[in-house]
């Protein structure tokens, strides 16, 4: 990766980088694979499963110094030059929405019937692709919304809001305010 960065004269242009999360980890010198601290933004502990849905605030990562918190190499770019791809965010939020949907209720059954060719493993983990997500968000008759109740409905409404205002093709002018109020 270092040779590639030198070949395109990255030091001269210092472009912002938007790429797959694995590529971002590679250019920032993070260890590849299933690592304990895989986030370049914070000190999120990937292996502390009991804290994943209960702990909201993780301390910000102080440095990307090799040898500390799964950093293997010197970063090739500044973390401030990294842009997260919106599709990755959308897929991650959708995965959490589906995983939090009660497996025994009608809403989850509706998703299984709507996408019958989805493998059992992908159903269990809530992994969907772009067209399926668009289909769920649009949901012509809003049948899925009617099946959700309580926290599940609030999570669904929040998801639709974030996709429409922040992650869509056209961001709202005041998207920062809207996302902050949502959080």
Query: pLDDT per residue over 7-30, tens digit each?
Result: 989 889 888 888 877 888 889 999
Residue 182 pLDDT: 61
Query: How far is the CA of 157 from the CAs of 34, 109, 154, in angstroms?
Result: 32, 19, 5
Top mean-pLDDT range of 4-13, 93-102, 164-173 = 4-13
CA angle, 91 as apex, 86 and 95 as ends, to 5°?
150
Nearest by Cα to 105 from 147, 154, 54: 147
Residue 131 pLDDT: 80
Domain boundaries, the chain: 1-84, 86-182
Query: Would you give the distance in Å from CA 114 to the centre of its chain?
Result: 23
Report residue 123 as tokens.
């159903």
Distance in Å from the first CA to the final CA of the chain? 36
Phi, psi of 157 (to 5 degrees): -60, -40
Q: Which residues contact 31 (CB under 8 A, 6 or more apart)?
A: 25, 70, 71, 72
β-strands 17-18, 82-83 pairing:
parallel
Contact (Cβ atoms closer than 8 angstroms) between residue 129 and residue 67: no
The Cα 165–Cα 135 span in angstroms is 17
For the stretch 47-86, pLDDT in tens is 888 887 778 788 888 889 898 888 999 999 988 888 877 7
């Amino acid at each position: 990766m270092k040779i590639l960065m030198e070949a395109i004269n990255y030091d001269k242009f210092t472009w912002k980088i938007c790429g797959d999360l694995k590529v971002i980890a590679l250019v920032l010198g993070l260890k590849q694979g299933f690592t304990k601290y895989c986030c370049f933004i914070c000190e999120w502990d990937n292996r502390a499963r009991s804290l994943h849905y209960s702990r909201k605030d993780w301390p910000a990562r102080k440095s990307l110094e090799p040898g500390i918190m799964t950093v293997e190499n010197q970063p090739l770019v500044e973390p401030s030059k990294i842009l997260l791809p919106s599709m990755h965010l959308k897929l991650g939020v959708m995965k959490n929405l589906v995983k939090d949907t009660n497996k025994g209720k009608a809403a989850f059954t509706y998703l299984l019937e709507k996408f019958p060719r989805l493998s059992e493993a992908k159903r269990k983990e809530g992994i969907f692709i772009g067209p399926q997500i668009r289909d769920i968000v649009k949901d012509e008759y809003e049948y899925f919304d009617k099946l959700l109740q309580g926290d599940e409905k609030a999570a669904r409404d929040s998801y639709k809001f974030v996709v429409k205002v922040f992650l869509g093709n056209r961001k709202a002018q005041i998207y920062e305010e809207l996302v902050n109020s949502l959080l």
